[in-house]
Structure 1
Amino acid sequence: MKIVIVSGGKPPREQNLKKYIDNETFIISADSGSNILYKYNIIPDIILGDFDSIDREVINYFREKKCKIISYPTEKNFTDTEAALKEAIKMSPDSILLFGCTGSRLDHTFANLGLLYRCLISNIEAYIIDENNTISLHNEAFKIEGKRGDLFSLQAFGSVVKGLSISKAKYELNNYDLKFGDPRTVSNELMDGSVFITFHKGILLLIKSKD
């Protein structure tokens, strides 16, 4: 089961969002993310939030469409995106894709990176996706696929990543201890075929980017 969450950050382009949605996709919108789905003629299964930034026309429309509506008070100790993620995790999906989770509010962006961690410890594949980046967290060896010249960066998420090795990329690395903020693993490139990432301990933040 795949769940798509659309939140209230920088809106995804219609084409970029719809390519991840099919008839089997479960869709949750968090507050003003509902405005984007309404604009793109996408019907969510759940809309939720404190509804301080959703258009009244939109919420009435989705109510008529029999969408499940979950309302929270404006003053609360969690974000609307966090609430959406909690609803998603309850359903034990195979993957969760988060849109509208980056933008000008860096505080929200950093908080949303923490939501990827919640998915990781719940053994759910999860990605934050915007027009320029696909972001994921990994606690074991993985491979990166794509075409020659695709960009990717790695960062330690929290503690040191021990024994990091990067093979088959433009810039290879062998048994390196990567600390948070170390720029050595920023802006690498795919060559011909998959890139293989291995490490002994820690959590890696992977950002696949395009300009």
Structure 2
Amino acid sequence: MEDIIVRRSSGITLLGGGKVRPDELTESLKHCPFLVAADGGATFAVSMGHIPEAVVGDMDSLPDEVAAAIPADRIHAIAEQDSTDFDKALRSISAPLVLGVGFLGGRVDHQLANLNVLVRRAETACILLGRRDVIFAAPRRLRLDLQGGSRVSLFPMSPVQGRSKGLQWPIDGLEMAPGARIGTSNRVCEGHSGPVDMKFDGPGMLVILPRAALRQAISALVPLSGDVHG
């Protein structure tokens, strides 16, 4: 069993050490008001006047002057080197929704590692915010309220099959897998009425939507509310 460091009934913004624009953090905090930093993500938080509720990671990227600005009991060092700081933080928090900022747009190997964590920790509803995209691991059934023509990219991180209603190119009967068939650059049918419905036979599918579809992604993962203030 994982040790939970922060448990909230409302949404948590998880801040990574990648490049983040101030408006991205502000937008995330509007939806998920509690701030947790993954290691060096605390540097940007403090520079913006935010003291994280917790800092989780191996602390190899946390400058001394930043650590000094944060109460010592909020800093939680996890020394093992077998997982990323994103993984350490995500497994240490419990909330109805986590919005991850600062985990996309940097080094490709870091981004791939973060996407790997998304599917391995799919029991946690987590959306990563990038400059142009939002990315999350699909639950077994997914309903998205998107306009006709909106981009819906599907990328399997493990073998998975599914069915769809409302996509320009249905996925019914397709065997999707990394290194084989994928589903990027699909889109909602023009004139489609009602939500896009997708069902998957197992875990492992990443859903990539335009950044403008953040609210729809939140509503799909947390159906009772577009904001998660608990």
> CA contact under 8 A between 1:97 and 1:128: conserved in structure 2?
yes
Aligned counterpart, 2:155: 155
The normalised TM-score by structure 1 is: 0.79
The answer to whether structure 1 residue 87 and structure 2 residue 92 are counterparts is yes
Could you tell me how far 1:72 is from its partner in structure 2?
4.5
- For residues 152-200 of structure 1, the C-alpha deviation after alignment (integer angstroms, 9 at most, x for no partner) is 21122212x23x2232123334332223244552101234542211234
Unaligned runs of 5+ in 2: 1-9, 213-230
Could you tell me how far 1:45 is from its partner in structure 2?
0.1
The 1-side partners of 2:171 and 2:105 are apart by 32
> CA contact under 8 A between 1:45 and 1:67: conserved in structure 2?
no
Please provide the CA RMSD for this pair. 2.7
Q: 3-state SS of the aligned residue for 1:115?
A: helix
Aligned counterpart, 2:222: none
The normalised TM-score by structure 2 is: 0.74
Q: Which moved more, 1:27-36 or 1:197-206?
A: 197-206
> CA contact under 8 A between 2:11 and 2:31: conserved in structure 1?
no
The 1-side partners of 2:42 and 2:102 are apart by 11
Moved over 4 A (4+): none
Q: 3-state SS of the aligned residue for 2:13?
A: strand
Aligned counterpart, 1:208: 209
The 2-side partners of 1:181 and 1:133 are apart by 22
Q: 3-state SS of the aligned residue for 1:186?
A: strand
Change (3 A) 1:97 1:201: same
More strand by share: 1
* Paired positions, count: 200
Q: Which moved more, 1:29-38 or 1:19-28?
A: 19-28
Q: 3-state SS of the aligned residue for 2:172?
A: strand
The 2-side partners of 1:2 and 1:84 are apart by 14
Change (3 A) 1:169 1:17: same
Unaligned runs of 5+ in 1: none
Q: 3-state SS of the aligned residue for 2:114?
A: helix
Change (3 A) 1:135 1:68: same
